[in-house]
Structure 1
């Protein structure tokens, strides 16, 4: 297999860092972006020819377009786009601030959408490519205290459900990556928490808040193994529509879909009564 070129957002930590390390080690080229460039200076030094790094705030659309254009100009061709940058917002809907809501959606929804819009002209011109969008088990399943985070993940999944149909004629395929909980810095450096309200202390949302604030460390997912699975998925043809990673993700998504299907089946009779009578 010939070496590929990847464009990855958020390479300073977590899955982005794990992906960049594994890809560079095997000889692929990486155009990486981050808000904290110092966190990956070691990769720049170790792979000066294959690792191209730029600062990027995914809430800044003009910056997105500029950096994407620079990456394609630098490497001529980019085979895989990885929308990885994002973070979690914890707190019940009442607890998070207006500013936090706006930033969560700007980062996790509008940012990835604008990156896709920026890369599509290049991917069409080169005859195709792959897009990996980091979603979450939280894109199909929900838990208390993460209503805005789930909003962002369900929204980006809806965007890709439709966009995948739009771009298929151009040999561009997309995969929604749905990891479960993993031992990354997500709950520490990649998360924000809304101001606590006394009303939620003894609720499920309050219990989730305490778990995050105390530093949960029992995640089953191995970030390195998950990153390797993401890389391997690019060799699959056609691209998997979704890539579920982690035993907890599998169990939680399966339970959510089973319950949703049962509710749907129970409403079949009612649904059919609301058609026009011919």
Structure 2
């Protein structure tokens, strides 16, 4: 039986997911890769083989995710690393985005991740090993104007991973949240981003923020191939971190947020401490 690692990667037809799967296959790893469209996977990565299993999956549909995970286990004989990479950007103020648009973002970015974890865990527990890597965003730690719902979905993924790491440690399973900054993919293209269908004139700062981010498309500082290599290295570490930021911009934004948070903690410490019961 082959001992090469078995990876399960969602959102593999483009961007960071595609770069990761290409890198894994070049290393001789076995990979199950998912996308909403099977044709896009096969066109880019080729048909199913002994080392590669393309899967069309609706991540928001729990039964569909279970089918995909079971298919991967049946094809390869197990799972070693699960990467929840699928997701998309959604911009707009809370007031501008409809209930349906907001819930759709949570369905893919959050519940899709949860669905995969739910169905992968029994296999990882049975093996007594494994690594779950959830791709979040620096927006989870340091949000930007006009991206409240996106930031909220990624914050959910980050905190989910932090607690998941505690819940599964006793089974020999590790969990890491990867929080990238800007990488040169199509993430910021006008065709990829979900923006308000009926923007409100009152939100001038939101419009300006969206314009700045759209102008960054194709100019992001991060190299997807290097991010893929970093994720593979992460999975090889005997004691991987629970958090991994990718990109100098992510580090800078995180540090700025930490500094601001520390200032607020200090400034409002008195009011925070005033809410306890009196000693006498």
State TM-score, norm by structure 1: 0.94
2:148 maps to 147
| TM alignment of 1:22-171, pairs within 5 A | 22-41=23-42, 42-45=44-47, 48-171=49-172
| TM alignment of 1:163-242, pairs within 5 A | 163-188=164-189, 189-195=191-197, 196-200=199-203, 203-212=204-213, 216-242=217-243
Once the two structures are TM-superposed, the CA of residue 147 in structure 1 deviates from its matched residue by 0.6
Q: Following the alignment from structure 1 to structure 2, what is the Cα–Cα distance between the partners of residues 213 and 220?
A: 14
Q: Following the alignment from structure 1 to structure 2, what is the Cα–Cα distance between the partners of residues 274 and 199?
A: 38
Q: Following the alignment from structure 2 to structure 1, what is the Cα–Cα distance between the partners of residues 206 and 76?
A: 46
Show structure 1 runs of 5+ residues with no match: none
Number of residue pairs matched by the alignment: 274
Is the alpha carbon distance of 1:273 and 1:214 closer, same or farther for their aligned partners in structure 2, counting shifts above 3 Å? closer
Paired residue secondary structure (2:162): helix
Paired residue secondary structure (1:87): coil
Deviations 1:156-211 (A, max 9, x none): 112112121111110111111011011101122432111221222xx321112223
Once the two structures are TM-superposed, the CA of residue 235 in structure 1 deviates from its matched residue by 1.4
Q: Following the alignment from structure 2 to structure 1, what is the Cα–Cα distance between the partners of residues 272 and 97?
A: 37
Q: Following the alignment from structure 1 to structure 2, what is the Cα–Cα distance between the partners of residues 128 and 36?
A: 31
Once the two structures are TM-superposed, the CA of residue 215 in structure 1 deviates from its matched residue by 6.5
Paired residue secondary structure (2:194): strand
Aligned residues: CA RMSD: 1.6
Q: Following the alignment from structure 2 to structure 1, what is the Cα–Cα distance between the partners of residues 49 and 64?
A: 23
State TM-score, norm by structure 2: 0.93
Once the two structures are TM-superposed, the CA of residue 263 in structure 1 deviates from its matched residue by 1.1
Show structure 2 runs of 5+ residues with no match: none
Once the two structures are TM-superposed, the CA of residue 110 in structure 1 deviates from its matched residue by 1.0
